Amino acid sequence: MAEPLPAARRQELSTLLPLWGMAPDRDAIHRAFRFRDFSEAFGFMARVALLAEAQDHHPEWSNVWNRVEITLTTHDAGGLSERDIRLAASIDALLG
């Protein structure tokens, strides 16, 4: 069972994950990505899928041609947890 993110860690989110924002209507983080074309966007999604499987933590996401939107939250915790931070940081690391 994942533990909900403590308040102290929540305050660190903007520093830890400066490219992610809070989802407007739920306890989740969100980031929008834009790539050169669909092929690049899908390649990115394939790499994120492998991260998700390795971490057993899966994104809520959408794709429209060269754009990908990712929302991360922990269903088992009913909101944000350390697992979301870990996956978001791993996703950011894919892009260098």
Ligand X SMILES: C[C@H](O)[C@H](O)[C@H]1CNC2=NC(N)=NC(=O)C2=N1
The distance of closest approach from Cβ of residue 72 to ligand X in the complex, given in angstroms and rounded to an integer, is 7
Q: Which of 1, 36, 46, 56 binds ligand X (CB under 6 A)?
A: 56
Which residue number is nearest to ligand X in terms of Cβ? 76
Q: Three-class SS of residue 22?
A: strand
**Pick 39 or 50: Cβ nearer ligand X:** 50
The alpha carbons of the chain give a radius of gyration, in whole angstroms, of: 13
**Binding piece for ligand X, criterion CB under 6 A, among 11-19, 27-35, 42-50, 55-63:** 55-63
Q: Three-class SS of residue 5?
A: coil
CB atoms within 10 A of CB 42: 15
Binding of ligand X by 75 (CB under 6 A) = yes
Binding of ligand X by 76 (CB under 6 A) = yes
Length of the chain: 96
**Binding piece for ligand X, criterion CB under 6 A, among 13-21, 40-48, 69-77, 88-96:** 69-77
- Tokens at residue 13, please? 């989110």
CB atoms within 10 A of CB 20: 23
Q: Which residues would be at the binding site for ligand X (CB under 6 A)?
A: 56-58, 74-76
